[in-house]
Amino acid sequence: MKIAVFVSGGGTNLQAIIDRINSGELKNVEIALVIASNDSAYALTRASDNGIPSVVMSVKSYPSREEWDDAVVAKLKEVGAELIVLAGYLSLLGAKTVKEFSNKIINIHPALIPSFCGKGMYGIKPHEAALARGVKVSGATVHLVNENYDEGPILLQKCVDILPDDTPEVLQKRIMKECEQVILPKAISLFAEGKVEIKNNIAYVKE
Ligand code: GAR
């Protein structure tokens, strides 16, 4: 299965996918392309270090959002992407991309949706909000993507306990390592095995 991975920043989730492919844990998956929203994303270096093709497609460098959306769809079709993985991608995909790849786009979010999600809730912010609210567990969610932030069907979630000395940064690191980097490769593997089913806006894992 060919996947395209969208990134905006450090690319630790991209690295987790690369590592699982290289170790043989993630079978029948090839990263056909990495698409970055900006040229300073360190994820681009991770792609080139691993011989993975990458491209920067920033909405700002197109005359309109529609033209950017068209170009993204054309690029995804050109490389034969069968699954789109948003791995720390901080922009909203275009309507055409979402429609063309309906139920074939997943996102990793650093909180237990429906808590601490939606527009503006990215990076460190969900962790700051979780600690400020005093929750006792937090974690990460892999969900299908529709045209709104963090609203598509939930596929996988994993949680960790909040510990007494947690700061947003400490919690973020723990959730990245113990939750995100576990459930994102797992979700890709479920797609590769044809085990994901969506019915009435609910995602199911077929046994
Ligand atoms: C990750 O924590 C990811 O869950 C989050 O951005 C970080 C990217 O890290 N995504 C969002 O907040 C999306 N709303 P990475 O570039 O090192 O994978």
Domain count, the chain: 1
Mean pLDDT of the chain: 97
pLDDT at 147: 79
Residue pair 9/41 in contact (Cβ under 8 Å)? The answer is yes
For 52, the domain range is: 2-205
Task: Name the active-site residue from 109, 127, 143, 174.
Answer: 109
- Residue 99 maps to which CATH number? 3.40.50.170
Q: Give the number of the atom of ligand 1 that is nearest the alpha carbon of residue 109.
A: 4
What DSSP character marks residue 179? I
* Mean of pLDDT values over 125-147: 97
Backbone angles phi, psi at 62, to 5 degrees: -115, 150
pTM above 0.85, yes or no: yes
Ligand 1 contact via 11 beta carbon (within 6 Å): yes
What ligand 1 atom has the least distance to the C-alpha of 43?
16
* 204 has pLDDT over 90: yes
The model's confidence at residue 17, banded by pLDDT at 50, 70 and 90, is very high
Of 150 and 105, the structure prediction assigns the larger pLDDT to 105
Is residue 127 part of the annotated active site? The answer reads: no
**From atom 8 of ligand 1, which residue's Cα is the shortest distance away?**
88
Nearest CA to ligand 1 atom 14: 122
Alpha helices in the chain (DSSP H): 12-23, 43-49, 65-78, 95-100, 125-133, 168-175, 181-192
pLDDT of residue 148: 83
| Mean pLDDT, residues 43-69 taken together | 98
| CA-based end-to-end distance of the chain | 20
User: Can you give the pLDDT at residue 150?
Assistant: 87
